[in-house]
Structure 1
């Protein structure tokens, strides 16, 4: 527990407690309130350009103008695209580091999807090795490194009593690298962890792995992001082999999402 200005913050790393927070059975948890300064800045930048249009727009049931609804949809779409981009970037980096797994994935794509065909939806569902690889990359390099919740009422999780007004951080990245949950090789790339699916990847707790949240707090774009990454990766593996450039420097860094700080310099060879 620590203070950020006037706001108390709690970091919860126990999977049992995380499950209680994400299940939110009492309805006491929600998204943290936005910093008022962000709202003022956002409102100020939009008012000057959109004042005349917004005043003539019809309001929806929740008080949003048509333009605001469209803007929210654009934000969701961009966030989904960024998540897929981050996952695909890290996957290519990791497969460049592990050419044996790159070749295993390529052979599976060639076998399942055919040598001269673009992968179909049906084919993508049968890519077991590719799925294992994507899950292990999500474990090591989750796009969002943490989930953030806020107590709007006094509540109790486990033996912990939280008053209203507490920001709660669920550190995905730390949990995905926890040796007590994943073993002493937690920092190593081992897709075979997911050979029997996500549920059995860690024998310690099902919430040892939650890159897209869990339960009612699961990201609604999860399946789309995975499917999109599978499609792109299958097409890349079908057409190229790749390795790291000598200029690549491994430096994971968080700017909204977990990204390579210095970029992902790869050398591709047409097959």
Structure 2
């Protein structure tokens, strides 16, 4: 409810500023672009309040939860796993310091990260924020020998698929970033076995942005801190909207000497 109220106020404030000629546009961020797309409806008070306003609020909430919650969850699991497997943490730090030293990471150099990329993919494989995908057939379709009637909802259990030993091998439940050394499509026995961001034309549009955010944050942590799991940590993955550590992430950080 607080998010709903806050977003509604932001929309009305921007609408009022444009109407009073205090600003020439609604802004260049996501909300501003959506309001610009609805500029005709914004002039029609009745239509705006009944349809467009709620649509914009819902879109903002979706981007906030999908773009913030999932990235935060990915970083949380990454810190937990690297806190458990400090050998991988040390290797990741070596790569980061080799490329960036202690400087603020620049976008152009992010593509040079190899091991950090593999670590993120392996964390996403083991602990995908979204544990399943759903699709609905808009018309009757043929899938192999199966006839899928129109309106049928299909569920892909991402978490189960990405832990399947037939797809990922005998040590499917073991953290091993090197399984992605030749890319996602060759990491398993099926090129579509990794679906943490979806697959095909419906792949998550925020995938690249989310990984850039996560990389920058992890780089800056690795540059300045070493960390390990606290003795109080209890490993209990649980589905709470996204897949999260049920009892929190108790991690001990140690400042690295300059």
Check whether TM > 0.5.
yes
1:158 positional shift: 1.1
Which of 17, 21, 45 is the aligned partner of 1:56?
A: 45
CA distance in 1, matches of 2:82, 2:170: 22
1:196 is aligned to 182
Which of 111, 119, 129 is the aligned partner of 1:125?
A: 111
CA distance in 2, matches of 1:154, 1:181: 29
1:168 is aligned to 154
CA distance in 2, matches of 1:252, 1:208: 21
1:211 is aligned to 196
Q: What are the Cα deviations for residues 97-129 of structure 1, in whole angstroms up to 9, with x where unaligned?
A: 100000000011101012x31111122111111
TM-score normalised to the size of structure 1? 0.76
CA distance in 1, matches of 2:57, 2:108: 32
Q: How does 1:25-104 map to 2 (within 5 A)?
A: 56=45, 59=48, 64-66=51-53, 68-104=55-91
- Contact 1:57-1:65 at 8 Å conserved across structures: no
2:253 is aligned to 268
3-state secondary structure, aligned to 1:206: coil
1:195 positional shift: 1.0
Aligned-residue CA RMSD (Å)? 2.3
TM-score normalised to the size of structure 2? 0.79
1:194 positional shift: 0.8
- Contact 1:57-1:66 at 8 Å conserved across structures: no
Of the two structures, which has the highest relative contact order with CA contacts closer than 8 Å and spacing of 6 or more? 1
3-state secondary structure, aligned to 1:208: coil
3-state secondary structure, aligned to 1:207: coil
